[in-house]
Amino acid sequence: MKSTNLTRNDYTGGKSTLCTGCGHDQITNHIIAAFFDSGIDPFDVIKVSGIGCSSKLPGYFLSKSQGINSMHGRMAPVATGAQLVNDKMTYIGISGDGDTASIGLGGFAHLVRRNLNIVYVVANNGVYGLTKGQLSPTADQGTLTSTGRENLFQDIDLCSLAIDLNCSFVARAFSSNSKQVVNLLKAAILHPGTAVIDIISPCITFNNHHGSTKSYEYVKEHNLTLQDLSCSPLRDANENGIGAAVEADNSVQALELSDGSKLLLRDVAPLSHDIRDRIAAMKVIYETKDRGEIPTGLFYVNSGRDHFAQALNLPDVPLSQLTETDLRPSATEFQNILRNFI
Amino acid sequence: MGIPVGGKNIFPSNIQGQPTWYFLRASAKGNTGFCYEADVTVAFNGQTIEEDHLATPGGGFFIFDESKIKSLKKREDVHYITVPIQDLVTQATSQVKLKKYLTNMIYVGILAEFLGLDGRVLETTIDEFLKSRTGILEINKKAVELGRSFVRNHPVQKIFPCRVSPLNENKGKILIDGNSAAALGLLVGGATFASWYPITPSTSLVESFEKYCHEYRKSADGKNNFAVVQAEDELSSICMVLGAGWNGARAFTATSGPGLSLMQEAAGYAYYAEIPSVVWDVQRAGPSTGMPTRTAQSDITSAHLSSHGDTRHPVLLPGDPFECYEFAQQALDLAEDLQTIVYVLSDLDIGMNIWRTDDFKYPEKPFHRGKVLSKEDLDRKSLSGKPYFRYADNDGDGIAYRALPGTRHPDAAYLTRGSGHNSKGLYTERSAEFMEVVDRLHKKWESAKKMVPQSICSESGNEIGIIHYGSTVEIVNEAKEILKEKGLACDSLRIRAIPFDEEIREFIFRKRAVYVLDLNQNGQIFELLKARFPECWTQMNSVRHYSGMPVQAAELAREVQNRERPDADRNKAGDL
């Protein structure tokens, strides 16, 4: 339900208890902006998270929305159960790199595989903050911990993993790039299906030192922005002819969203790829990684898939609201069932 | 024919090639519990023919195919019927793939003839059984007739002691397994969401539920008024159930021991964040992987006290498929009434065997949806003018109110969490605020005592009592008959839920000695009773059976007899 008389204050939440300068606080602000811009009523939003610094975020935005700060690594299945019994709400899941790529990797993979209709934000800083700086599986090989130890292992790239599982919307962003994150979030909110946004969000306390590949400085230096993003409501496209201009300009791709608006993507990197081409998206990730770059932008979109609730052929009335009349077989049907056991 | 029967399928954790036994007990008196000593044995398993032969009681009948064993050392005290099964089956068909199946029917014919079973009854049964496969109907009837005529005028026929004749003992009864019964209860009880991970012996419960849903849960426009998700593991299956329960649906999972272990962290979350959810555990013999196709009651403590920290959960203990059906509905109601995780502990014996049980009643009462506040309730400040706080005790019964996600009122929202929270649902590390909430949970536990199914007492002033629960209903009734004949008349009490009700204490106090029957090695209910009623522990004795097989009435009676009369001829000391 779109609402026009809400102010930005209607989308804020409690005061953050994260460290000053944490990338996650930037993400909070981007989420507030994206929901405010989208005009979605907070009463229609459900927030789900796991455990960790990242998973505290639902307390800091959309305080009028119900939320569940669940267990470590369990954001995905908790969101799955919640979404299926009331698929009329908009779901945003907030998880971290430990919560998703380590303890919750199984749940993540299966949520993506099922194409649950949710925005899945990973606030990715490469370390466990609340336990003081241990490496997470998204930490790059060779990166140094705050105590100077080198990471021996290959990282888990959540974006290439998601694309491999044919996730229907996969993006990476940098928390400091508000335009990028807000536009990706707005598109993700309106995308029907799983929208994974891996947001690199530096940990100011345990992973912002020299030798870390997830510090503000390192990410800013190595970031390769793939596209310049903007969201254009459909009415602009019609009135100002942007749609036509887009068609003519082959460096701009347009992604039509469920409310009729469009996400416009203008290639800025030397590499340009078709966001609907899965293999091209993988190539971008692999090639830039080999060069030590951090590509950010929208990698891949597949709008042709049913999301999970659609695949399960769920009714228009949410399952949670069905009553005895909807749920009990008639007395005659019941007697017919029992006849098999006489 | 109106004859009480009970069946026990004893099968391996394997798909093909391992021996399987089926015990069928018929009794005019209605004693249909497990009895290992079979009057008539059809030795079907080539691999265990010697073992089965030795297990035949004196005076028993042993029917076997001579080609299965070269030399059977025959006993003096057993009657033998040797069947040339290859010859007979070749007379029935030349189709190789049918031979194995028709062998069964030849034995059916043999048993029918010995038992004097009316040919018309058998014929009608076969017609009904094969109504969708009429192509093989006649050949099956032919096999039955070949079996019948082979033993017609057999010398054993004259001394065969069993005959069947029609009775009228099955009026108002049905034959059903506990997993199907539970699935039906969950269907009419309004479960809309199930998430599960396949595990023996619970699998058929969810599969039946899904089958019923596809038949009886379609909306007018052909949509599914249910969602069943086969999860990636039990961590996820229980978490999906919590997500669904939190969001206002009646949700359950079904599992067995190993799955129950994986669900522990979520159980504590459900307890502390107060999320309605139902876990149906069909228990099997543990520890670890244990014996997946053998029965036990060994998850009592791990379900009841599931998870770290101070947690405890209501546990319902159905005694037969009838109670599986009833308790399935009650568990969904209780989960919402109490806003917590509720366990139902069935076992393989109830879940996968066919029981003769009372007919199921069509439910007339509405679902209990618990203390849920709507937008209108919040608008008119229905809590006697008090503000709504998610974890506050407005009614003094320890049960708080909740506003479901999606309630369009500014006071409705809160962030559900497993971390320390105060009565408003806000994060806290303050001792007083933390204790206020956990103390209310304790009060809620006290309220639960009166809400769960109460124990059933069968008493006629005897000084000895048997306390039992779950699948031992039939066995205890029969054991009491045996004991009465031996001059040891007993009363009995069947526990149907944790928390325990006060009647249990009173029952123990009225007895000189009480025998608590557990189908586990640790005496799990015995230990919980001791902890709950320490003032009467001196009367309590623990009887433990943990072989993986259902306990037999004779075993229980013998154990009570041994303990009561230690000087009389003892068969065996200690555990069953």
Nearest chain B CA: its distance from A115 CA (Å): 13
Q: Is B405 on the interface with A (CB under 8 A)?
A: yes
Angle between helices A105-114 and B234-246 (to 10 degrees): 70
Chain B residues close to A319, C-beta within 8 Å: 192-193, 225-227, 244, 249
Phi and psi for B391 in degrees, rounded to 5?
A: -115, 35
How much is the pLDDT for B381?
Answer: 83
How much is the pLDDT for A238?
Answer: 46
8 A C-beta contact, residue B202 and residue B282: yes
Q: Is B372 on the interface with A (CB under 8 A)?
A: no
B315-316: strand order across its sheet:
B227-230, B193-196, B251-255, B277-283, B341-347, B315-316, B497-498
β-partners of residue B467 are B493, B516
Phi and psi for B475 in degrees, rounded to 5?
A: -65, -40
Length of chain A: 342
The full DSSP string for A230-246 is EEE-HHHHHHH-HHHHH
B329: phi > 0 → left, psi -120 to 50 → alpha, else beta; which? alpha
How much is the pLDDT for B46?
Answer: 84
Rg (CA), chain A: 21
Q: Is B61 on the interface with A (CB under 8 A)?
A: no
pLDDT greater at residue A309 or residue A235:
A309
Q: Which of A22, A20, A16, A18 is nearest to A201 (CA)?
A: A22
Burial per residue of A39-73, b for 16 or more beta-carbon CB atoms within 10 angstroms, e otherwise = ebbbbebbbbbbbbbbbbbbbbbbbbbbbbbbbbb
Strand B456-458 relative to strand A90-96, pairing: unpaired
- Looking at the whole model, is its pTM more than 0.90? yes
Residue A246 pLDDT grade (very low, low, confident, very high; cuts 50, 70, 90):
low
CB pairs under 8 A between A and B: 203
- Report the mean per-residue pLDDT for chain A: 93
Rg (CA), chain B: 27
Contacts of B436 (CB under 8 A, 6+ apart): B422, B423
Contacts of B381 (CB under 8 A, 6+ apart): B387
Cα B392 to Cα B379: distance, rounded to the nearest angstrom:
18
Is the pLDDT assigned to residue A233 strictly greater than 70?
no
How much is the pLDDT for A63?
Answer: 97
At A26, list the tokens: 């930037």
Cα B492 to Cα B516: distance, rounded to the nearest angstrom:
10
Q: Do B239 and A69 touch (CB under 8 A)?
A: no
Q: Do B405 and A86 touch (CB under 8 A)?
A: yes
Chain A residues close to B190, C-beta within 8 Å: 322, 324, 327-328
Long-range (24+ apart) CB contacts under 8 A made by B531-540 are B532/B500, B533/B500, B533/B504, B533/B505, B533/B508, B535/B505, B536/B505, B536/B508, B536/B509, B539/B508, B539/B509, B539/B511, B539/B512, B539/B513, B539/B514, B540/B508, B540/B514, B540/B516
Chain A residues close to B192, C-beta within 8 Å: 85, 319-320, 322, 327
Which residues in chain B show pLDDT less than 50?
571-573
Over pLDDT 90: what percentage of chain A? 89
Strand B173-177 relative to strand B354-358, pairing: antiparallel
Cα A309 to Cα B193: distance, rounded to the nearest angstrom:
12
Cα A297 to Cα A275: distance, rounded to the nearest angstrom:
10
Q: Is B225 on the interface with A (CB under 8 A)?
A: yes
Q: How distant, in Å, are the alpha carbons of B26, B126, B143 from that of B121?
A: 16, 9, 16
The residue of B5, B187, B192 whose CB has the most chain A CBs within 10 angstroms, and thus the best one to mutate to test that interface, is B192
For residue A315, give the chain B residue with the closest CA.
B223
**B77-107 per-position pLDDT tens digit:** 999 999 999 999 999 998 989 998 999 999 9
- Give the pLDDT mean for A5-27: 96
**B432-463 per-position pLDDT tens digit:** 999 999 999 999 999 999 999 999 999 999 99
Over pLDDT 70: what percentage of chain A? 94
Residue A2 pLDDT grade (very low, low, confident, very high; cuts 50, 70, 90):
low
**A100-130 per-position pLDDT tens digit:** 999 999 999 999 999 999 999 999 999 999 9
For residue A59, give the chain B residue with the closest CA.
B415
Sign of the dihedral through C-alpha B442, B444, B450, B453 = negative
Contacts of A207 (CB under 8 A, 6+ apart): A125, A126, A127, A133, A145, A146, A214, A215
How much is the pLDDT for A251?
Answer: 85
Residue A236 pLDDT grade (very low, low, confident, very high; cuts 50, 70, 90):
very low
- Give the pLDDT mean for A13-42: 97
How much is the pLDDT for A270?
Answer: 79
A 10 A CB-CB count for B493 gives 25
Nearest chain B CA: its distance from A290 CA (Å): 33
Contacts of B63 (CB under 8 A, 6+ apart): B40, B41, B42, B43, B80, B81, B83, B107, B110, B111
Cα B492 to Cα B511: distance, rounded to the nearest angstrom:
10
How is residue A156 annotated by DSSP?
P
How much is the pLDDT for A5?
Answer: 87
SS3 of B194-255: the string is EEECCCCCCHHHHHHHHHHHHHHCECCCCCECCEEEECCCHHHHHHHHHHHHHCCCCEEEEE
**A279-327 per-position pLDDT tens digit:** 999 999 999 999 999 999 999 999 889 999 999 999 999 999 999 999 9
For residue B367, give the chain A residue with the closest CA.
A324
Nearest chain B CA: its distance from A152 CA (Å): 29
Is the pLDDT assigned to residue A82 strictly greater than 50?
yes
Of A48, A79, A329, the CB nearest to B188: A329
Q: How distant, in Å, are the alpha carbons of A11, A46, A111, A289 from that of B246?
A: 23, 11, 19, 41
Of A77, A324, A342, the CB nearest to B174: A342
**Cβ-based burial of B282 (10 A; exposed 0-12, middle 13-18, buried ≥19):** buried
